[in-house]
Amino acid sequence: MRQESPVHFDEQRERWDLFRYDDVNRVLTDHDSFTSDRSRMGTASASDTEDGGSILQTMISVDPPDHNRLRGFVNERFQPGTLRDYQPRIEELTGTLLDQIDGTTFDFVDEFAVPLPVIIIAELLGIPAERRDQFKEWSDALIARPDDRSTTTVKQVRERRQQAQQEMGRYFAELLAERQNGTGDDLITLAATTDELTREEQIGFCMLLLLAGNITTTNLLTNALWCFEEHGITDAIRTGKIDRKQAIEEVLRYRSPIQSLDRIAVEDVELSGQRIQAGDVITGWLGAANRDPERFDAPEAFRPERSPNRHIAFGTGVHYCLGAPLARIEADVAFEMLLDRFETIEADLTDLQPIHSLYGLESLICHYEV
């Protein structure tokens, strides 16, 4: 598609698909011509919006200048420098999780990659530890999709999602009200004490952090172990022969957890020779852009030492992932500690099942020795 039809209108889905790095990059950075406001989608995609779990108005679905207000109050907290102070706590939480793994076999997804980001974001938000299980149930329901292998219907999934959304909204509203005069340094207190946001927007912010930060990081961790094992470099990463951070960047490029992002054209524009009309829906394929030969040498090869590696797995432009520095620290700490803890680790790469939401795996069974 990149070569033959890089800007392609799909009749069935009634939307444009973009496959080239430059086109995807253009659409994400030109927020004047391409909006993130999903309420501006035409009828063709209205059901998508509903099914995509779009909730309250948050930074991710708002354009500048309002976007600056919704993101500005928290930006500082997610800067690498600020997060560095938090790294010892991430290490402690990771260690506790690793302590719970016993036997000689475990599911890397269920027992490590899923819980780790939830525990960390719950801690950053200031969710009491005893509510974490409930919290995870809610976040699962918010991202659930009907699965062809199970009997749950679209309607059931949607109902569960709405219920989880309401319960979680009520829970955050309570915590925000309790903390509106608080002095704690958790993110709920930060949101509760800012004059910039309405209470609704504060609730939306808390829910967005859950939605945006959990399953994405889960799949980065899973895809990382998958890539490392597939290319037989797990030991080289353990010993430092291959740079861990750089290898994680290559995982982000090669198996990007989020494969596509949507925008809507707000005016008629031309893109690589195609006329796109105001109101048209556009899907930019990050996965395809990240393997564009115009941009990357040998793009289909997994090269853990690739440098520079200007992938757009975290998006680009004003909506560039707020949590990217956090996700990077989490992945770095996770692999440093995991490989330090387990003398050998071997993942079973036969019969891998893809997940249905992002790019990742349902499970990744590992044998290990301590």
Interacting residues with ligand HEM (CB under 6 A): 28, 36, 59-60, 71, 121, 208-209, 212-213, 216-217, 220, 257-258, 261, 313-315, 319, 321-323, 326-327
Least distance from C-beta 252 to ligand HEM, angstroms? 7
Cβ count near 214 (within 10 Å): 25
**Among residues 94 and 368, whose Cβ is nearest to ligand HEM?**
94
**Among residues 24 and 368, whose Cβ is nearest to ligand HEM?**
24
| Among 345, 370, 342, 348, residue whose Cα is nearest residue 361 | 348
Phi/psi of residue 100, nearest 5 degrees:
-80, -10
Least distance from C-beta 171 to ligand HEM, angstroms? 18
Q: If you ran DSSP here, which 8-state letter would residue 347 be given?
A: E
Least distance from C-beta 343 to ligand HEM, angstroms? 27
**Among residues 77 and 231, whose Cβ is nearest to ligand HEM?**
77
Cis peptide before 117 (omega within 30 of 0): no
Least distance from C-beta 10 to ligand HEM, angstroms? 20
Within 8 A by CB and 6+ apart from 222, the residues are 108, 109, 113, 360, 361, 364
**Among residues 314 and 335, whose Cβ is nearest to ligand HEM?**
314
Least distance from C-beta 318 to ligand HEM, angstroms? 6
Q: Locate tokens 């994405």: which residue?
A: 216
Least distance from C-beta 211 to ligand HEM, angstroms? 8
Q: Cα angle vertex 159, ends 153, 163, to 5°?
A: 150
Cβ count near 7 (within 10 Å): 20
**Among residues 98 and 116, whose Cβ is nearest to ligand HEM?**
116
Least distance from C-beta 204 to ligand HEM, angstroms? 11
- Per residue, what are the HEC states of 137-165? HHHHHHHCCCCCCCCCCHHHHHHHHHHHH
Q: Which amino acid is located at 243 in the chain? A: D
Q: Which residue is nearest to ligand HEM (CB)?
A: 323
**Among residues 63 and 348, whose Cβ is nearest to ligand HEM?**
63
Least distance from C-beta 324 to ligand HEM, angstroms? 6
Cis peptide before 6 (omega within 30 of 0): no
Least distance from C-beta 319 to ligand HEM, angstroms? 3
Cα dist from 44 to 160, 264, 317, whole Å? 24, 12, 26
**Among residues 18 and 258, whose Cβ is nearest to ligand HEM?**
258
Cα dist from 302 to 167, 289, 298, 356, whole Å? 43, 15, 9, 23
Judge contact between 31 and 297, C-beta under 8 A. Answer: no
**Among residues 271 and 368, whose Cβ is nearest to ligand HEM?**
271
Lookup: tokens for 187: 């993110």
Within 8 A by CB and 6+ apart from 251, the residues are 220, 223, 224, 227
**Among residues 118 and 192, whose Cβ is nearest to ligand HEM?**
118
